[in-house]
Every structure is written in C-alpha cells, then in structure tokens.
Structure 1
Amino acid sequence: MKFKLGLVALLLAGQALADVFIAPDNQQLQYTGRIDFADRARPMLSWPGSSIEGKFTGPSLAVKLDDQLGKNFFNVFIDGDYSKPLIIEARRGSATYPVAAGLTPGAHSFLITKRTEGEEGGTWFQGLELADGGALLAPPPRKKRHIEFFGDSITTGMGNESPDDGPDDRLRDKNNFMSYSSITARALDAEAHITSQSGIGVTISWFPFTMPDFYDQLSAVGDNDSRWDFKSWTPDVVIINLLQNDSWLIDREKRLSPVPDDAQRIQSYRGFVQKIRALYPNAYIVCALGSMDAVREGSKWPGYVRTAVDQMRQLGDQRIDTIILPWTGFGGHPRVKQHQANAAQLTTFIRQKMGW
C-alpha cells in the first residue's frame, strides 16, 4: 500500500507539471494569409509568409506541426526580435519543436512565419505547448492596412539568404520574411498576403500551370481545385510582379511556338491584371517588374508592363501604376540586400500614392 500511495503521488506530481496545450482553434491565435481551415483542429499553411501570432505567459513555448513532405522551413520570433529567428526545419509527419525556454516571468509574444512556399508542400498546425501555468493572452490588434502580392520566386524570396557566390536553390536559404514583399509590408505597417510561386509566369511557366490558373487557390500546393474566398480579405494595394519567367521561357528557351508577338504578350499580361481589377475594384494596383534580367538594359519586358497599364488607364482605370525595380547585374536570384533596396523603393512609391 505504501508503494501504491507513492506511485499515485508521483503521477499527480507529473500531471501538475504537465505542459499546457493550446489548440489550433483557440480564438486568441491570430492567423494571417490564405490558410485552409477546412478542419479547424488542423489548419494548413501552404503560402509563403503565412503566419500565426500571439501572446503568452510562461518560460517556454513549443510548436506542434505535421508537415506534408518534410521540406518546409519556418521562422519563430520571440518578443519582436526579428534579428534572431529560431528556424524550424520541419520533419515529415507530426512533431513537436521547442522554440523558447528560460523566458523571464510575464507576457511574451511569438510570431511564426512560413519561409518556404507551396512547392515544398503544406504544413498542418497542431497547436502550441506552454509551460505549466502558462496561458495564451489576447493577440495584438490586427493591422488596418492590407497589401497583396502576386509574384514568382522573387516575391517568394528564393535564394535570398544564399551566399553571393553559392547556389540559390537550397530550401533553407529561402526566407519570405526577408523578401522585398514582406519587408515592404512591415515598413508600411500592413498585413500581407503573398500569392507567389517560384517558376510561375503569366503566359507560360516552368511547369504546366500559370498564374491565371493559380491565383485563386486556397492551397498553394500545385495546381488544384481549392478556391480562396476573395470576399474574406480585401487588399488596399495589390503588387503584381510577374513576367521574369515568361521572358526566359519565351525569348531564351523558345518554349512557345509560334512565338507570341509584342501585342499578344501585352494582351496576356493585361488580361491577368484585369482579372485582379475585377476582384478588387477599389484597390491601388502597382504593376511591378524586377529585379532580375527581365529589366536589363534593352529588354522589351518593362515596356510590355507599361503599355498594358497605359491601355487600362485609357479604359478609365486611374488607380493603377507601374514601377520597375532595377537589375544590378547580379546573375542569380536577389539576395537580402537587393530585396531591402527593392523594398525601400517600393515602400516610398506606395507611401506617395496612398498617403501612408
């Protein structure tokens, strides 16, 4: 009997020290991005920059994820320190990732962001674990400004953390948080949706689907039948930065026969922009291009963007403009310093146009 009582005491002590589980459907968790809530107990993150944010008490925090392919990476920022993310390299399947320990007493904040994109698969969020006695607090207020980006690998941030003289296709070096898109959104204190896919184009991509096939999906994992509800979130500003892959595949790789003429290229691009305008009649649309070699000296592609915008203006659309992000001559995907320069230019442009 004495042994049994001792065993019960140990079990009770273990329960008292058990972690506090925070379920994914907790109303104090703040989600941002096109996130699939078909199962509220297992929301799926697939788009780059998708995020989960909140505040909590207690000395520790762990994140539970179920990754589809074991290829995704996430940032976790504690207490707003963006200079020192803890990087989660998600394993395939369900796992728990400790991300903070030894925190001081009192309230703390966390921000989880998806570094990678849909081609790395989706990730089901399974909740958080706090230390015994910890609690989730009310989240920060949502940002009032909204920006949506439609783009390719540049907008995603492919290779932006690679060394200048190294390969830029390693998954761990892809970090949407330090792409021009996310940097611009933070500079403008805006909530961002990043609707991008490396390799995608408007007329042709490096795979069978194009942005006009892809832009309306809820899930970013390949070409699929999921549908995003555009009425659920409305941007004030839309940035469209496409055509880099079209320029390579049409002019360099000669993948289309017959080769589209200038008018057909402009018409294809304008058709997609008009789809976005139909969805967001009041948004300020910025048709961007850059900063890779589609904007090199002598390239016709910036002119296609400008002409398409001019045509829409002639049809009465006055809330649309163009910005060209300059190519530095660097042969690979832009690195962080180039993204920062692009973001500074774009941020200034939007502030002038929107009065922000």
Structure 2
Amino acid sequence: MLIQPDSAAVSYSGRIDFSDRRAPVFDWPGVMISAVFANSQNCSVILDDSGGNDFNVFINGVHGGIIECVKGEKEYVISKSLAPGENTVTLTKRTESYDGITVFKGFVVDKGAKPGKPADEPKLKIEFIGDSLTVGYGVEGPGISCDSVRKYTNNHMGFAATAARALNGGFHIIAVSGRGLVKNYGENSPQSERPLPFYYESTLMNRPEVKWDFKLWVPDVVVINLGTNDFSAEPKPAAEQFINAYTALIEKVRGYYPEAAIFICEGPAQSEPFFDYFDAVLRKHEGKNVHALEMQMLKPADWACDYHPNRKAAERMAGEAVEGIKRILNL
C-alpha cells in the first residue's frame, strides 16, 4: 500500500516545491518528511534522487539508520519489523543542496495499514541562514582530514538543527557551504556573482528561478551566520561593500517577517576585519529587533572535516544560540 505524498498522514518541514503534490521536490539541508500509520510491520520510502543525498531515518523518534541514495528512483527499506500499533517514521536530509535534488514519491506500507494524524507543528518557528557551519558540513568527521565529506555531513547534528530541537521549535535552513554575504570561498574577486543572498528567495537552491512563497511559513526567529567565507582570502570585501550587503539581507528578511527577532552571529569562525564591520551593522539596526549572537571562536580541539565544527563544538554553538534566543524572547 502506498501512502501518497499528498496524504493527510504525511507532514513536511523545510522549503519544498509542491508544484506536483504527488512528487514534491526539495534540496535544502534539514528538510524533514514524516508519516504516521498503524497496522504495518513493514515500511519503505520511494525517492528519486540526483545520487548525492543521504537521509537519517527515525522511527518513533529513535534513530534507525541512514539511507544513502543512488541516482534515479528507488524504493529504500526503512524497517521490516515495526512495533504493533501506531508508528511515526521520519526522514531528515543530512546532506546539502550541492548534493542535488530529491523527489519524494511516498511511503510503502503493508496492505490494510491505517494512516494516522501527524503531530501538530511546533509553535516556535526558526529560520537559519548561513554557510557550511549551518549546513553541518563534516560535523561527524574524525578530524580535519576526512575520506568522505558526504559520509560525515549531518545537518541533524549541526548547531542549527540542534538549537531548534532544544527550543522545541520547527526550522527551515537556507544554507550553502562556501557561500558568503558578498564573496564566496576561494573566489578571486571581492564580489561573487552568486553569494548566499542570491538564493534566499528560492524554493530550491539548484533551481533558483523557483521562488519561495514567504506567506507559507513565517518564523518567529531568524538566525544569520555569515561572513566566514567573505574574509577567507584576498581580495577581501571593503567595509562599505560588506556592511551594505549585510544591511540589505537584514532588510529583506525584515520585509518578509516584520515581527521576527533577527539574530546575527559573531563567531565562531570569522576573521578580521569582519568584527569591526559586524559592529557597524549592529549599530545601524539598534532598536530594530536585531540582536548579536556571540559564539566562541573555534579551536583545534573543535575541528572536524576541513576545520569545521565537530559535534561537541556544534553542541556548544547550539547552546549559545539557545541562550541568546531565550534571553530576547523571554522563553
């Protein structure tokens, strides 16, 4: 029996293109798909993938393995021994948008299974905008040298998703590794053609012409962690250039979410002259519900793949984010 993607038993979190309700398309990290059903011992999922994505599987909130997608449409077994009664199966996208697009085609359960009702959406909604730190790039890696970044990337264990869970919040993640506010990592111009803000209004990073409807999901909190890649190499953006770009992004966010508390992160991996520019951005938005979120700078003991935060560092970053958000929102 196929539980179709448009079934009332299926719930979603994240930016997803529902142009075809029976074949929703997505590519942002952290997208979640859940189904609730009873009277089925077996469950599998049908995904049509670009060939680069991985998904965590959770059964009733307990991690039940990883799906490593191959190119094309395939049915992936989730479990052949589900407990009697009602079960909730959830997929969370570990990998990032660079790894391609996924089309969800439904869950396969036993004939006679009874669809259930998904849990209510969390009241607190948080949008995270960022780069590889928000993606959870290589967060599970054994050190700075990793044989496979894909294997060790896990958005679920990155600071953003971890912070959202600690706050019992729902979340969307708009983040791409290597992207900056103005300049992307490794590019030899102080102004990149497609820095992170280029994708902010897109439903899909890989199809930026598909625009997101901001009325579909309105967050209470927006967390921006950018600026690491902008200053990773020469030539670095000029002060006015960077400050104006950060201001433009904040004002764009504010235009879509007039009531949201906006947090901009200082740390954990930026370099000079980011910090002076950051202070200038903060001063420009004084009294406008824009707040600094301070994070400790990363040290060698914090490093996973390619000098990115490991799980312990990501947990610390999440704690810093939670503390700052709670203080401002009086949670």
Q: TM-score range by the shorter chain?
A: over 0.9
What residue is the counterpart of 2:182 in the other structure? Answer: 203
What residue is the counterpart of 1:17 in the other structure? Answer: none
Q: Is the 8 A contact 2:298 2:309 kept in 1?
A: no
1:98 match: secondary structure: strand
Q: Is the 8 A contact 1:74 1:115 kept in 2?
A: yes
**What is the CA–CA distance in structure 2 between the aligned matches of 1:351 and 1:100, rounded to whole Å?**
38
Is 1:343–2:318 an aligned residue pair? yes
Aligned length: 319
2:255 match: secondary structure: helix
Deviations 1:5-44 (A, max 9, x none): xxxxxxxxxxxxxxx1111111221111100001111001
1:226 match: secondary structure: coil
Counterpart mapping for 1:155-194 below 5 A: 155-167=134-146, 170-194=149-173
Q: TM-score, normalised by structure 1?
A: 0.86
Identity %: 34
Q: TM-score, normalised by structure 2?
A: 0.92
Deviations 1:226-256 (A, max 9, x none): 10001111000000000111011xxx232xx
Is 1:282–2:252 an aligned residue pair? no
**What is the CA–CA distance in structure 2 between the aligned matches of 1:153 and 1:168, rounded to whole Å?**
18
Deviations 1:187-206 (A, max 9, x none): 11111000111111111114
- Counterpart selection for 1:300 from 273, 276, 281: 273
2:215 match: secondary structure: helix
Is 1:72–2:49 an aligned residue pair? no
**What is the CA–CA distance in structure 1 between the aligned matches of 2:147 and 2:127, rounded to whole Å?**
25
What residue is the counterpart of 2:292 in the other structure? Answer: 322
What residue is the counterpart of 1:238 in the other structure? Answer: 222
Deviation at 1:128, TM superposition (A): 0.6
Which is higher, the Rg of structure 1 or of structure 2? 1
1:232 match: secondary structure: coil
1:340 match: secondary structure: helix
**Letter of the structure 1 residue corresponding to residue 205 of structure 2:** A
Deviations 1:231-285 (A, max 9, x none): 111000000000111011xxx232xxxx543233222222221111121111000
1:47 match: secondary structure: coil
- Counterpart selection for 1:214 from 184, 199, 221: 199
Q: Is the 8 A contact 1:54 1:140 kept in 2?
A: no
Q: Is the 8 A contact 1:168 1:333 kept in 2?
A: no
2:134 match: secondary structure: helix
- Counterpart selection for 2:89 from 81, 100, 110: 110
What residue is the counterpart of 1:14 in the other structure? Answer: none
**Letter of the structure 2 residue corresponding to residue 72 of structure 1:** N
**Letter of the structure 2 residue corresponding to residue 75 of structure 1:** N
- Counterpart selection for 1:271 from 243, 248, 269: 248
Is 1:94–2:85 an aligned residue pair? no
Counterpart mapping for 1:16-35 below 5 A: 20-35=1-16
**Letter of the structure 1 residue corresponding to residue 202 of structure 2:** Q
Deviation at 1:343, TM superposition (A): 0.3
Deviations 1:136-172 (A, max 9, x none): 2111111111000000010000010111253286212
**Letter of the structure 2 residue corresponding to residue 41 of structure 1:** R
Unaligned runs of 5+ in 1: 1-19
Unaligned runs of 5+ in 2: 186-191
**What is the CA–CA distance in structure 2 between the aligned matches of 1:178 and 1:290, rounded to whole Å?**
19
Q: Is the 8 A contact 1:216 1:228 kept in 2?
A: yes
Q: Is the 8 A contact 2:181 2:242 kept in 1?
A: no
Deviation at 1:305, TM superposition (A): 1.7
**What is the CA–CA distance in structure 1 between the aligned matches of 2:114 and 2:152, rounded to whole Å?**
34
1:189 match: secondary structure: coil
**What is the CA–CA distance in structure 2 between the aligned matches of 1:151 and 1:285, rounded to whole Å?**
13
Deviations 1:57-89 (A, max 9, x none): 22121010000x2000011100111xx341000
**What is the CA–CA distance in structure 1 between the aligned matches of 2:5 and 2:237, rounded to whole Å?**
48
What residue is the counterpart of 2:117 in the other structure? Answer: 138
